[in-house]
Amino acid sequence: MTAREAERLAVYPGSFDPLTRGHDDIIRRGLKIVDRLIVAVAETATEEKAGMFGLEERVELIESVYEDEPRVEVTSFSGLLVDFARSRGARLIIRGLRAVSDFEYEFQMALMNRSLWPELEVIFMAPDNQHTFLSASLVREVGRLGGDVSRFVPPAVLERMVERFGPSAAGRAS
């Protein structure tokens, strides 16, 4: 077995529109249990959502957040997650669970993915307590309505949200 084959490689998929501190928490703690982590930005969401950032912009933003972390790779994907993971040699998927309401959907997806590729394993991670209520859609909505999202997103994302929504997104008067 080569070193590359022994490497623990995981995929953390999502829309990341925008990347939140909850996502960041899962990524940074995921790096404690894997050697490398691919943040896989979904080209199309599994649910119909009003997006804020385009695909390339989301990839670019996440890359800027992790520019000093060589074990994080950011890329986009389309199609089935299992096909993407298999093509990259990753047999591990990391998913965040904020609340019990997330569990049923994520559990079904994990079982479906494993039925499509039996070698695949899914790890569910709960975010830090301070981030359990966070979702990208909630952060988007607060930003759109003029609320301060500075506590909920990394600085590079906040900067882009301020460009989009104005200084109120950072808690500053316009």
pLDDT digits (tens, 9 = 90+) for 3-25: 555 799 999 999 999 999 999 99
User: Distances from the Cα of 154 to the Cαs of 65, 136, 139, in angstroms?
Assistant: 7, 12, 12
At residue 129, the pLDDT reads 86
At residue 63, the pLDDT reads 98
**To which H or E segment does residue 152 belong?**
none
Is 2 a residue whose pLDDT tops 60? no
- Domain ranges for the chain, please list them: 3-130
The angle that helices 155-165 and 136-144 make with each other, rounded to 10 degrees, is 40
Residue 102: φ, ψ to 5° = -75, -30
Q: Which CATH number applies to 3-130?
A: 3.40.50.620
Percent of the chain at pLDDT above 90? 78
Instruction: State the CB neighbour count (10 A cutoff) for residue 62.
Output: 25
